[in-house]
Copies of this chain bind each other. A is one copy, B any other.
Amino acid sequence: MADRLSPRARQIVAAARELLEKDGADALTMRRLADRLGIRAPSLYKHFPDKAAVEVELIAEGMEELARALEAAEATGPAKATGPAEAAGRVEAADPADVMAGLGAAYRAYAFAHPHLYRLMSAGPFPRDLLPPGLEDRTAMPLVRVVGDPDRARAAWAFAHGMVMLELDGRFPPGADLGPAWRVGLTALVRPV
């Protein structure tokens, strides 16, 4: 994803990410970014046409990581394996409910591990045309596979995104345990009965 970038550009993106993750989107300014690199702000424009171009790299990086996290969760399979079948080396089809729970946990974990990056990824108009082709679909596939149809996948995605945003923004009552809400939503949205 960042392969087409020069080494210096990659350093800049790395510094931008540190800045973003540590202090949020407002702290990501060209001046501060330059400061962190020990150079002056105008020098950045030799490597990127504008600030948006730097942000696009961060978004692509985040989406790729999220895609990997979801793929890993999908591959893990059910937490509790059925003993005999596994001992026999037979491949057991994963219970969709387990996969769904795993995907939800992975999504939530990624968002909370990188809250500011997650916000950047999901805020404002989406730079679809500037991102690596296929990345968007790749991120969506694990969910589509487990729920079966696109409409249900969209509903489940909206649920997860909504939970994350409401949690991040402190919208739920302070101190509320949200595990049950996640569980209820994920199980309700797995598959049509």
For residue A75, CB closer than 8 A to chain B, the reply is: no
Task: Given the known inter-chain contacts A162-B161, A163-B162, A193-B193, please indicate yes or no for A184 contacting B155, CB distance below 8 A.
Answer: yes
For residue A159, CB closer than 8 A to chain B, the reply is: yes
Contact A126 B171 (CB under 8 A): yes
Residues 167-193 of A at the B interface (beta carbon under 8 Å): 169-172, 176, 178, 180-185, 188-189, 193
What's the Cα separation between A188 and B190 when bound, in Å? 9
Q: Which residues of B contact A171 (CB under 8 A)?
A: 122, 126
Q: Nearest residue in B to A167 (C-beta to C-beta)?
A: B158
Contact mask A84-128 → B, CB, 8 Å, 1/0? 000000000000000000000000000000000000001111100
Query: Which 4 residue pairs spanning A and B have beta carbons closest together?
Result: A162-B162, A158-B162, A155-B185, A154-B181
Residue among A157, A178, A182 facing the most chain B CB atoms (10 A cut-off): A157
Residues 136-155 of A at the B interface (beta carbon under 8 Å): 151-152, 154-155
What's the Cα separation between A51 and B142 when bound, in Å? 44
Q: Which residues of B contact A156 (CB under 8 A)?
A: 185
**Chain A contact residues (Cβ within 8 angstroms of B): what range?**
20 to 34
For residue A165, CB closer than 8 A to chain B, the reply is: yes
* Distance between A109 CB and nearest chain B CB, rounded to angstroms: 17
Contact A185 B189 (CB under 8 A): yes
What's the Cα separation between A155 and B185 when bound, in Å? 5
Contact A125 B169 (CB under 8 A): yes
For residue A27, CB closer than 8 A to chain B, the reply is: no
For residue A33, CB closer than 8 A to chain B, the reply is: no
What's the Cα separation between A158 and B157 when bound, in Å? 10
Contact A126 B169 (CB under 8 A): yes
Contact B162 A157 (CB under 8 A): yes
For residue A160, CB closer than 8 A to chain B, the reply is: yes
- Besides A122-B165, A151-B183, A157-B162, 4 more A-B contacts (Cβ < 8 Å) are A152-B181, A161-B165, A185-B189, A189-B189
